[in-house]
Structure 1
């Protein structure tokens, strides 16, 4: 994930670094050894508690996208860059982010098998049906019919981007991997509260 710009101002970045440090410190004290970044479990706990994400497979994929160095640990830079898109990304950035989350094997396409795997994973929480796989295959067919513009049986980035631009609701078609507006706002309010209090006092 290449990011040209931070979408946070300097004070907000400082607040995010402070939050990162406190999460790492918490992780260090529970592990009884120094921790340099957020490991997989700590990051998932944060996604769950701060943003209400519950889908294990999606949280795992979000971790992989944040972890640009692929060292199984989120550094402070990866944390701020990742949250920049996660919380305030433009539509372009969020399309790229979701596509990378859904492209499970990183080959530049979302294949029929990958769609099946993700939809099965997010829908199996429903009551058991006789043939749940059949219903999921139907959903995959519907998704391809709607999104596969060059009709090659898989979604390229261009297919996905066009489909989402035509219909924004398709952004998270294969599983929730971004926070909803309510949890984003709650997270920002809580994390940036000190800044807002300061600017309030300056203005008054």
Structure 2
């Protein structure tokens, strides 16, 4: 059994292809996943973590609170589109969350913002995400007009080929020129404090060695 489990971890390591996540850390993430699976509100759904429970994890462990962004992060984690986060998807997603390179984070954030999966971030998608995060800000003017202005400003900054939408190539170039644009349309990656807290909790026994 130990040999089989070791091979399983090696396969996951090869799939993730990230030097940043160690084999021991993958094992810790699997254990954490199994605990979360047992704690699900609907334990009968054992295919993986469902949307409701995954959103609770994003909120409680990583401080995310934007419902639209959390749903988009769920969709990005859920690569096989079965409405559950499997252990493989859990580890792949967390490898970007915790130790992702800039390349990996750019691709991840772009996929989060590309809500319809057509490989572009459109004005409509920008407006939808920014409206949800900015609409509650106090403003004497029409808040939706303010969001539209924000979309136009952001589009001018990121739309290098001037086709009225942002491709992955546009997004990549914009972020490399100004890193703050990585999460231009909503916070979809955990901050450093949340990452440290998660790692201390999940990798605790490893850190104590």
When the two structures are superposed, what TM-score results if normalisation uses the length of structure 2? 0.89
User: Residues 137-178 of structure 1: CA distance to partner in whole angstroms, max 9, x if unpaired?
Assistant: 110111011111111111111111000000000000000000
Please give the secondary structure, in 2, of the residue aligned with 1:63: helix
Please give the secondary structure, in 1, of the residue aligned with 2:121: strand
Q: Distance in 1 between matches of 2:141 and 2:180?
A: 29
Counterpart check, 1:45 vs 2:49: no
Q: After TM superposition, which residue ranges in structure 1, 4 or more long, deviate above 2 angstroms? A: 2-7, 30-34, 127-130
Residue 176 of structure 1 corresponds to which residue in structure 2?
187
Residue 85 of structure 1 contacts residue 94 of structure 1 at CA under 8 Å; is this kept in 2?
Answer: yes
Mapping for residues 153-192 of structure 1, pairs under 5 Å = 153-192=164-203
Residue 20 of structure 1 corresponds to which residue in structure 2?
33
Please give the secondary structure, in 1, of the residue aligned with 2:97: helix
Cα drift, residue 84 of structure 1: 0.4
Counterpart check, 1:197 vs 2:208: yes
Counterpart check, 1:69 vs 2:80: yes
Please give the secondary structure, in 2, of the residue aligned with 1:72: coil
Residue 53 of structure 1 contacts residue 59 of structure 1 at CA under 8 Å; is this kept in 2?
Answer: yes
Please give the secondary structure, in 1, of the residue aligned with 2:208: helix
Cα drift, residue 81 of structure 1: 0.6
Residue 99 of structure 1 corresponds to which residue in structure 2?
110
Residue 69 of structure 2 contacts residue 187 of structure 2 at CA under 8 Å; is this kept in 1?
Answer: yes
Residue 37 of structure 2 contacts residue 43 of structure 2 at CA under 8 Å; is this kept in 1?
Answer: no
Residue 54 of structure 1 corresponds to which residue in structure 2?
65
When the two structures are superposed, what TM-score results if normalisation uses the length of structure 1? 0.91
Does the C-alpha gap of structure 1 residues 32 and 65 become closer, same or farther in structure 2, counting only changes over 3 Å? closer
Aligned-residue Cα RMSD (Å) equals: 1.5
Residue 139 of structure 1 corresponds to which residue in structure 2?
150
Residue 7 of structure 2 corresponds to which residue in structure 1?
none
Cα drift, residue 128 of structure 1: 5.9
Residue 84 of structure 1 corresponds to which residue in structure 2?
95
Q: Distance in 2 between matches of 1:184 and 1:13?
A: 15
Which runs of 5 or more structure 1 residues have no equivalent in the other structure?
Answer: 199-204
Residue 6 of structure 2 corresponds to which residue in structure 1?
none
Residue 123 of structure 1 corresponds to which residue in structure 2?
134
Q: Distance in 2 between matches of 1:32 and 1:143?
A: 43
Which runs of 5 or more structure 2 residues have no equivalent in the other structure?
Answer: 1-14
Does the C-alpha gap of structure 1 residues 95 and 32 become closer, same or farther in structure 2, counting only changes over 3 Å? closer
Does the C-alpha gap of structure 1 residues 24 and 163 become closer, same or farther in structure 2, counting only changes over 3 Å? same
Cα drift, residue 186 of structure 1: 1.1
Please give the secondary structure, in 1, of the residue aligned with 2:126: helix
